[in-house]
Structure 1
Amino acid sequence: MVIDMNYWRKVIKRIFIFFLTIIGVWLGFKLSVFYMPFLIAFIISLLLEPIIKVLMRKTKLKRKTSAIIVFILAFSIIIGLLTWGIATLISEISNILGNINQFLDKGYSFIQNTIKSFNFEKIQISEQVKATLQSSATEFLGTITEWAKNVLTSAMGFITSIPTIGIYVVITFLALYFICVDKVYMLDQLEHHLPKTWVKKIGIHIRELIKTLGRYLKAQAILILISFVISLIGLYIFHFMGWGIKVPLIAALGIGFVDALPIFGSGTAMLPWAVWCAVNGNLKLAIGLLVLWAIMSIVRQFIEPRIVSGQIGIHPIFTLIAMYTGFKILGVIGMLLGPIILIVLENIFATMIDDGVFKSIFDR
């Protein structure tokens, strides 16, 4: 039997490229945590690029001038929103810290009343079962208390980390300015220092990846923003009507976060909340939350088909696996990044299939 050395060299080379790509993606997402300000600046620059081009075309201004004008406008809007958001969050976190004991007392009373409502004295059950039920209730209360302590620690951590957040914001805006103004120059330098064949091939793949990922992120961002704005307006209305909403911004952010998770939705947060309000006798807020959830669902169902015109085509089970894997590796934020990483990997595999990487490995 004659061994075809050329064939096996190609196979080893393809396998090496395959694993190198996987390692590169893994390192890329690991490093993205450290270089998050630059990544955010790059994403914002992609969103601002069409506006810069429109301004150049309409006003005949040079790119640098147009980029500076758009940057100043974006800077003013983002800083204004951040200032309002941080001030409101600090106020609402202070409100939560001041009422946390009252919340725990209500939770304890609710659980105790629920246990008493079973009327154990009239039910023929063993003392062991009673002890187990009471032990479980005590353990549940301990878990709730521990969770509340963690929330307090996170809240205090957020307040004390505001100076660090300020540094991140400054670096992000500086990076955004340089990317917007000097984008053409940076691309020219990149092409000058890399082989032309590399630039052409890498450029095609990166553009396709950005197009696919951008379509997904843009659609999700619009849907989440719509849900957040509707929930924020509704919760502020409930707040001003005196229905017991003391932290509307934090509540809206929580609903927006849950809504951002694939498979889940705003109902995951709002329906249990409405049930809790109904059990505690706040029927006005319970009905209001149900109406608000219905409005959000109707608006989303109406808008989603128009925004998400080209679906990525990933089955929900794979999305769920990606979310769980992201959660185990990166924590809560990994639930958001998991599906994004899955899209990147799918795009890379599709590219490798188109380039015949797997064909050359398995076909002879």
Structure 2
Amino acid sequence: MFTEAFIKKVKNIAIFVIVYTLLFILFFSTLSYTLPFVLAFIIALWIKPITIFLNKRLKISLNISSLLSTIIIFTIILFIIVLIIFKISIEIRDILNNLPDINNIINISQVYINKYEQYFSQISPEYVNRFKDEIISLLSNAYSITVTILKTSVSFAIKLPKVFLIIFITLIGTYLFSIDLALMQSRFLSIFSDKTKDKVVMIWNEGNKMFSGYIKAYTFIVFLTFIETLIGFSILKIRYALSLSIISAICDLLPIIGIGIIYFSVALFYFFSKKYAICFSILLLYIIVTVLRQILEPKIVSSSLGLKPIAVLAAIFIGIMSHGFIGMLYLLFLLVFYKILNKSNVL
């Protein structure tokens, strides 16, 4: 029925999907233990050009140039992180101290519900009561989620010693990886024949190019969300604009939560404060940011990875609908690895 070449290609693709799935599960199931070393390896690859530049220009040993490049990068990263955490911790503590009690919110909601209840007088009381219960439940859940996110952020700041331990291990690992990177690469390639070695180098170069593009694409998307939120909230003169913008950018990476949890919480706060113009403006800003993200994400990611926009859009949608953020990552990386192996004539 089918040609031998087609059957062989299908078998190769099936083997690839099975192997990829097993490695994906293994990677994410062990990431909590291997995170510092994964980060160290990625950063070592990232600072490799700096290490080589210092080694050749300053004519110093590889050990010293690796140490200098590692210290420079980590000093910059730590300075930015400490500055952001310090600013956010102060603002979040202030937010928590000034949050209205949940009972007050429910009481205010009840007043509004009673005020407009006359419009529902012709509807069955059962549906009206159910509608009231749903609104109160929704408000309670939104309030609880907001407080949980804020308290988690504070808890994260409190548990910084553990974070700094991970950073310290990542720092040492980056230094050691940057020293042995060239040696590791040559040893790894030495196990292959000359013909296979060229193909492995091609796969590595293509993979490095595509993963760099992927990271740059999502860094740009998250940064764009942060800037849009910061500018919008600053124009509307909303307090804690910086903290809310950073949290929105982080939530933007989590499709199940999304930026809506921040925008709707802030909008509800201004609604109950009877500042309806600001409430409406926040909802309008949310629509603009969301629409821009939905338009730009497939285009930016597809152009960065060299994939067709429809394939990226399908991977994002199917992944999110099936298993959320992890599902999206699984399908996107599946496309990326397939593209790499296809361009290298492996598949």
Q: How many residues align?
A: 336
Q: Which residue does 2:337 correspond to in 1? A: 348
Q: Which residue does 2:318 correspond to in 1? A: 321
Whether the aligned pair in 1 keeps the contact of 2:203 and 2:340 (CA below 8 Å) is yes
Is 37-46 or 50-59 further displaced after alignment?
Answer: 50-59
In structure 2, runs of 5+ residues without a counterpart are: 1-6
* CA root-mean-square deviation: 4.5
Whether the aligned pair in 1 keeps the contact of 2:319 and 2:331 (CA below 8 Å) is yes
Distance across 1 between alignment mates of 2:258 and 2:89: 27
Cα deviations by residue, 1:208-238 (Å, 9 ceiling, x for unpaired): 2222121121122134235425644665676
Q: Which residue does 1:361 correspond to in 2? A: none
**What letter corresponds to residue 86 of structure 1 in structure 2?**
I
Whether the aligned pair in 2 keeps the contact of 1:219 and 1:308 (CA below 8 Å) is no
Per the TM alignment, residue 170 of structure 1 is displaced from its structure 2 partner at its CA by 0.9
Q: Secondary structure at the match of 1:124?
A: coil
Distance across 1 between alignment mates of 2:264 and 2:135: 23
Distance across 2 between alignment mates of 1:195 and 1:82: 42
**What letter corresponds to residue 73 of structure 2 in structure 1?**
A
Structure 1 residue runs of 4 or more that deviate by more than 6 Å after TM superposition? 8-14, 264-268, 290-302, 304-308, 354-358
- Relative distance call for 1:131 and 1:219 in structure 2 (3 A) is closer
**What letter corresponds to residue 347 of structure 1 in structure 2?**
V
Q: Which residue does 2:51 correspond to in 1? A: 52
Q: Which residue does 1:282 correspond to in 2? A: 275
Q: Which residue does 1:118 correspond to in 2? A: 116
Per the TM alignment, residue 305 of structure 1 is displaced from its structure 2 partner at its CA by 7.9
Whether the aligned pair in 2 keeps the contact of 1:64 and 1:181 (CA below 8 Å) is yes
Per the TM alignment, residue 58 of structure 1 is displaced from its structure 2 partner at its CA by 5.0
Whether the aligned pair in 2 keeps the contact of 1:64 and 1:182 (CA below 8 Å) is no
Cα deviations by residue, 1:30-65 (Å, 9 ceiling, x for unpaired): 323421122222222333233334445655555444
Whether the aligned pair in 2 keeps the contact of 1:38 and 1:172 (CA below 8 Å) is yes
Q: Which residue does 2:244 correspond to in 1? A: 251
Cα deviations by residue, 1:160-193 (Å, 9 ceiling, x for unpaired): 432211111111111112222332223234345x
TM-score, normalised to structure 1, is 0.71
Distance across 1 between alignment mates of 2:338 and 2:12: 16
Is 182-191 or 145-154 further displaced after alignment?
Answer: 145-154
Is 167-176 or 273-282 further displaced after alignment?
Answer: 273-282
Distance across 1 between alignment mates of 2:301 and 2:316: 20
Distance across 1 between alignment mates of 2:284 and 2:137: 35
TM-score, normalised to structure 2, is 0.74
Per the TM alignment, residue 87 of structure 1 is displaced from its structure 2 partner at its CA by 1.9
Whether the aligned pair in 2 keeps the contact of 1:14 and 1:357 (CA below 8 Å) is no
Q: Which residue does 1:143 correspond to in 2? A: 141
Distance across 2 between alignment mates of 1:271 and 1:118: 22
**What letter corresponds to residue 244 of structure 2 in structure 1?**
A
Is 66-75 or 119-128 further displaced after alignment?
Answer: 119-128
- Relative distance call for 1:317 and 1:277 in structure 2 (3 A) is farther
Q: Secondary structure at the match of 2:122?
A: coil
Distance across 1 between alignment mates of 2:30 and 2:145: 30
Q: Which residue does 2:307 correspond to in 1? A: 312
**What letter corresponds to residue 172 of structure 2 in structure 1?**
L
- Relative distance call for 1:258 and 1:164 in structure 2 (3 A) is closer
- Relative distance call for 1:234 and 1:132 in structure 2 (3 A) is closer
Cα deviations by residue, 1:66-92 (Å, 9 ceiling, x for unpaired): 333322221211111121122223223
**What letter corresponds to residue 343 of structure 1 in structure 2?**
L
Q: Does 1:39 align with 2:34?
A: no
Cα deviations by residue, 1:100-157 (Å, 9 ceiling, x for unpaired): 3x16356324422331232328833333233323333343344345435644663454
Please list, as runs of the form range in 1=range in 2, the aligned pairs for 1:221-300 lying within 5 A after superposition.
Answer: 221-229=219-227, 231-232=229-230, 235=233, 243-245=237-239, 247-260=240-253, 270=263, 273=266, 277=270, 280-282=273-275, 285=278
Please list, as runs of the form range in 1=range in 2, the aligned pairs for 1:10-159 lying within 5 A after superposition.
Answer: 19-56=18-55, 59=58, 61-100=60-99, 102=100, 104-105=102-103, 107-120=105-118, 123-144=121-142, 146-147=144-145, 150-151=148-149, 154-155=152-153, 157-159=155-157
Distance across 2 between alignment mates of 1:162 and 1:62: 34
Q: From 179, 182, 185, give the equivalent of 1:184.
A: 182
Q: Secondary structure at the match of 2:307?
A: coil
Whether the aligned pair in 2 keeps the contact of 1:213 and 1:343 (CA below 8 Å) is no
